[in-house]
Amino acid sequence: MIHRNMSDRDWWRGACIYEVYVRSFQDSDGDGEGDLPGLISRLDYLSDLGVDALWITPFFPSPMFDSGYDVSDYRAVDPRFGALDDFRTLTDKAHDLGLRIVIDQVYSHSSSHHPWFQESAASRDGPKSDWYVWADPKPDGSPPNNWLARFGGVSWEWSSTRKQYYLHNFVIEQPDLNLHNPEVQDEVLDIMKFWFDLGVDGLRLDVANFFMHDPLLRDNPPAALADRPANPYYMQQRVFDRSRPETLPFLERMRAVAGDRMLLAEISCDWQIERMAEYTQPGRLHTAYSFELLGPVLDGRHIARAVEQAGAGDSWPTWAFSNHDVTRVADRWGAERVKVLQALLLSLRGSIVLYQGEELGLPHSNVPRDRLQDPEAIRFWPNHRGRDGARTPMAWDDTPGLGFSTAEGWLPAEPAHRPLAVSRQAGDPGSHLSHCRAMIALRRTTSALRLGDFDTIEADADGLTFWRRHNGQSVLCSFNLGDRPRAVPVTPNGHTLAGTLEAGHIPPHSYWIAEAAT
């Protein structure tokens, strides 16, 4: 068993957090969907991988219009995923193994099936009439403003009962909660306490920058674009429907409830790096991540700049190269770069999120049109690959079903994942899995990599070199993202910790990490 200090209040600083997409991780009952008992059965694998915590995607009751991110009961477990006792067992066993538990919480919106919304939609005068964002139509009957929904169409849906529109930033079945209402805020804080009382160590706050909207409902201005995107959502500057300053006092209320339990915010659909620093100032959230390092272009200059800006002052960022919403790294940035990207991610200043299957170097899956579940992919087919390709079953073995389930999965198992399955990589010291495990261990045992300062030496399109320093330890990290050998700008008088250096050069798609002599 890997030793972890479970009494450390600041465990999240520099931690490696493994994202479990629970619906696709491990099925225990043969219904084709992953569940909590299945996750429990794989905890030893995650402990051996060396990660510090598990972020578990939603397992709450939901009609599944958006794969569980449309919650209809915030204090229960959907029967398809198990029961509340299964969650208690999961938490206890994870803690016994030294693993922290972080769960997704979706407070920007609920499901339209939630009793709160049913009551709110029934009357303008009921106790929960103001728990969601309602607005009158314009005199011509059109929506209150020009806001667009993330998954297509306008952000407003008509209610014939209230004769008003309600706001939904995502699908119609995800009405926005009115977090300007103190009663709604109080309810959210009470939900947080419920899960903390069950032993949860942290919360991942879905689309935290969508918590508040402009109370005046002003129109968004147009965005300056060179080309017209497939999704018109990106044709607006998101000035009034998200990332509002009104969010900040509520984040402070959340932090007061959470105390030392980690709050990790997702800054969704927002490339503004300053939002991460803003949300993690003292008294607000512990850490946050944005989509800064999830883009289509791999550029050392951009990575260095993002790390420096997001870590300004007392803020503590979190970084990810992949998650359940984007094309997998092996397809986006190249299969030949898997190991160098694992090493780079695990060398950055901040906390780290590793998405399930990233340790295996899995490519993005090809999901046929008739098997799509993602509302975004369905809406914009065939001009958008959608998110389902990152959500297919985890590759445990090289059988056709990948060891995920005895039944056909809710998404199809990807044949290209069979040679990369855990069973094929586990005993191979040269595999992606073995490499990732070694890099996690290096980060865990090297204070400069986990907690140190970040000082850029050199950065360009094809690579970057930086120092990590902490408590007298200095570690040089140099990465070659290009196709030719790359000279190291500084050679410390010390010893190699990981990677390869050949006559002062790093081979293509490789790296060198060395500790300077003290």
* DSSP state letters, 113-136: TSHHHHHHHH-SSSTTTTSB-EEP
**Token code pair at residue 255:** 């932090």
**Token code pair at residue 380:** 């914009």
Buried b (16+ CB within 10 A) or exposed e, 440-466: bebbbebbbbbbbebebebbeebbbbb
CA proximity to 314, closest of 13, 8, 11, 9 = 13
Active site residue 274: no
* Region class of 370: left (phi > 0), else alpha (psi between -120 and 50), else beta: alpha
Active-site residue among 104, 266, 278, 299?
266
**Token code pair at residue 286:** 């512990």
**What's the CA gap between 106 and 74, in Å, rounded?**
9
Active site residue 44: no
In the chain the first and final C-alpha atoms are separated, in Å, by 31
Helices 432-445 and 338-345, axial angle in degrees (round to 10): 20
**What's the CA gap between 426 and 44, in Å, rounded?**
13
CA proximity to 9, closest of 352, 204, 259 = 259
CA dihedral 161, 167, 170, 173 (to 10 degrees): -20
Residue 330 in 3-state DSSP? helix
Active-site residue among 52, 78, 206, 292?
206
- φ, ψ (nearest 5 deg) of residue 178: -95, 85
- φ, ψ (nearest 5 deg) of residue 253: -65, -40
What are the residue numbers of the active site?
Answer: 206, 266
